[in-house]
Structure 1
Amino acid sequence: MVRRTKEEAEETRLQILDAAERIFHDKGVSRTALADIATAAGVSRGAIYWHFQNKVELFQALIDRLRLPLEDLAQASESDVEPNPLGRLRELLIRVLQRVEQDPQCRRVSEILQHKCEYTDDLGDLRQKMQTFHLECDQRIEKSLRNAVNKGQLPATLNCQRAAFSLHAYIDGLQAHWLLCPQQHSLAEQAESLVDALLDMLRSSPALRDA
């Protein structure tokens, strides 16, 4: 009975997340009320509050769900015992770009993040949470790059902090641009070439070296 109750609670949580994803995508984050999500999910507002304190926490859960399938690759690129951290990072970045086009759920959440997430007063600390999320990403990328430097896969003089910032902006920009103009080209088909161009920059650009 307890197991069934836990399963039902998890099913309800997933229903709420799926509904929030659809409504955020249709209306934007700031114009979506928890009542809208409750109606779309077929649950009460009390059920939402059982799982999430507020709309910001619900939004964070959508981001976490988006990141989870790639977490093993991210951790591998950061691991000191990984013999090929740059290869794992390359695989991770390629999959990030491919999923935006090939995975409908990933595409919806990416569109919300890039184009339908407004930092209005009623969302409280959403902007701060997103800043923390981006800084964490930069730090994890920097760790992966330092790992690749230590393994001799990138130049010893690479400024890893600057390179991480550049890498994050490059991937983020590719996603934002494609989501606005998906008819221009296939991001999934060009993912490998686009990531390899980025890695070439890390290996060769004098502007990314320590003085």
Structure 2
Amino acid sequence: MARKTKAEAEQTRRDILEAALELFHAKGYTRTTLEEIARSAGVTRGAIYWHFKDKVDLFNGLKDEIECSTETRLEDLLLVSVNELSDFRDNILRLYRNLENDEHFKKFFELIFLRAEFTEELQPVLNQFKIKLHRLQQKDTDDFSRLQQAGKISANQDCVQCAFALRCLIIGSLNSWLIEEGTFSIVERGGALIDHFLNSLR
């Protein structure tokens, strides 16, 4: 019986997160209420407060759930090894494939990039995102430097600028794909763009 109760509680939590993603995506974070999320999930507001202390905590729970399921947490990304220039491409294409094949992941990216209003209560979330970008760019800089020392990147390349350019390419591709509502394959077109950039570093 205890296991069933725990399983039911976990299912309720998943139902709440599913409803939150759909409503945040459709209406935006600010215009979505906990009452609407509860109604959509078929639960009471009390059930939401059992799992999340407030709407911000629910938003963070949604972020953590999706990042864990797609291995895109900062902790995961910082552990990805890069020994060849092609490893950059493979790692980026893994992200792009997730976006094309996982509707939840795509909706979350649309929410973050296009639909979330980063009001005062969401500033900690935005600050975490900035920290994540900074640490990933530093990792890319370090990886480019190692490849340069190994003779796999031209000696006249500025590795800090290389990392910044790669970040701009990724974010620009993501924004274009999301804005155009997936009318082209980000794996194909984005992959070709990354290939062109990486080949220019040799």
Q: Same fold (TM over 0.5)?
A: yes
Q: Which residue of 2 aligns with 1:150?
A: 146
Return the TM-score normalized by structure 1: 0.78
In the TM superposition, what whole-angstrom CA distance separates every residue of 1:20-73 from its partner, at most 9, and x where no partner exists?
010011111110011111111111112112222222222222222332223486
* Distance change in 2, residues 1:97/1:62 (3 Å): same
* Separation in structure 1 between the aligned mates of residue 189 and residue 124 of structure 2, nearest angstrom: 33
RMSD: 2.7
* Separation in structure 2 between the aligned mates of residue 65 and residue 158 of structure 1, nearest angstrom: 38
* Separation in structure 2 between the aligned mates of residue 83 and residue 145 of structure 1, nearest angstrom: 11
* Separation in structure 2 between the aligned mates of residue 96 and residue 137 of structure 1, nearest angstrom: 15
* Separation in structure 2 between the aligned mates of residue 91 and residue 64 of structure 1, nearest angstrom: 23
* Distance change in 2, residues 1:21/1:128 (3 Å): same
Do residues 132 (structure 1) and 133 (structure 2) align? no
Of all paired residues, the percent bearing the same amino acid is: 33
* Separation in structure 2 between the aligned mates of residue 50 and residue 65 of structure 1, nearest angstrom: 17
| Amino acid across the alignment from 2:191 | E
Q: Which runs of 5+ in 1 are unaligned?
A: 205-211
* Separation in structure 2 between the aligned mates of residue 167 and residue 102 of structure 1, nearest angstrom: 23
| Amino acid across the alignment from 2:27 | K
Count of residues paired in the alignment: 196
Q: Which residue of 1 aligns with 2:168?
A: 169
Q: How far apart are residue 160 of structure 1 and its match? A: 4.6
| Amino acid across the alignment from 2:118 | Y
Show the 5 A alignment for 1:52-91.
Answer: 52-68=52-68, 69-71=70-72, 74-77=77-80, 82=81, 84=83, 86-91=85-90
Contact 1:138 1:164 in 2 (8 A): no
Contact 1:74 1:92 in 2 (8 A): no
Moved more, 147-156 or 1-10: 147-156
Q: Secondary structure at the match of 2:71?
A: helix
* Separation in structure 1 between the aligned mates of residue 76 and residue 49 of structure 2, nearest angstrom: 33
* Distance change in 2, residues 1:157/1:56 (3 Å): farther
In the TM superposition, what whole-angstrom CA distance separates every residue of 1:129-152 from its partner, at most 9, and x where no partner exists?
212223223213422441353253
| Amino acid across the alignment from 2:71 | L
* Separation in structure 2 between the aligned mates of residue 182 and residue 59 of structure 1, nearest angstrom: 23
Show the 5 A alignment for 1:1-211.
Answer: 1-68=1-68, 69-71=70-72, 74-77=77-80, 82=81, 84=83, 86-121=85-120, 124=121, 126-151=122-147, 152=150, 153-154=152-153, 159-182=158-181, 184-200=183-199, 203=201
| Amino acid across the alignment from 1:197 | H
